[in-house]
Amino acid sequence: MFTSKMLLIIFLSFSSLIPISQKAEISTRSQKVLQNIDTESENTLQVKWNTVTQTPELLSGKLTKPSAHSPQWITYNYLEKIKTLYGLKHVNKDLKIMTIDKNATSIKVVLQRQLFKNSVCGNQLLVELDYSGVVQRIYGTLHTDLEEKRLGRPMYPAVSAQKAKRIALNYDKLLEESNSITIESCYMPNREGVPLIHVLTYEREGRPVSIKIHSLTGRIIE
């Protein structure tokens, strides 16, 4: 998702603690949480750290003990314990389960980040469990402390979804020829102020194309 210049991924094995050179990349608060996770995982924890989002891109290992509870319960219960690592306040509200997929060896729970009852663009977590209820991997992209970046206030759109669609039609006349147009509203986490935007997706020459429209100003976001 990010270019190599924008994203520095740190591979950490907590059988040996965080190297001195990497401590500057991870906050003291997050280091303490990771060390606790490593202890509980019996030193099996491995981490990929995303310095752009300031959250883990991947946690893997024997992260929990076996459990007979449902995948939903295990997922929410564990994420509640480590929520400060992702800058979350209320896990049940901040993360919405979208799907639960089962295959021969594992169960995958997909969660969408929510902010003021809207989705956050491109922010999802996938929690993978085995059939004994052990969380083995958590991976995806979550930007931290979004509520603070919004100063604790939601954005109320001045531009409706239908008006955004008309703006998009004026921007790209090929939209009129598309048979498949979807529009969703989400907060844009990598833009200053974390604005609420409308994302209109359609097909152009057989491939999906998206137009992003600021919900307050109506401007196209390049």
> For residues 170-205, b (16+ Cβ closer than 10 Å) or e, as one string?
eeeeebeeeeeeebebbbbbeeeebbbbbbbbbeee
Chain-centre distance for alpha carbon 14: 24
- pTM metric for this prediction: 0.85
pLDDT of the residue at 114: 98
Averaged over 69-84, what is the pLDDT?
98
| pLDDT attached to residue 23 | 52
Q: Looking at the predicted structure, is the pLDDT value of residue 44 above 90?
A: yes
pLDDT confidence of residue 206: 77
What distances in angstroms separate CA 122 from CA 16, 74, 106, 117, 158, one per listed residue?
Answer: 32, 24, 24, 15, 23
pLDDT at 202 (0 to 100): 87
167-208 pLDDT per residue, tens: 998 988 877 777 778 999 999 999 999 999 999 998 877 788
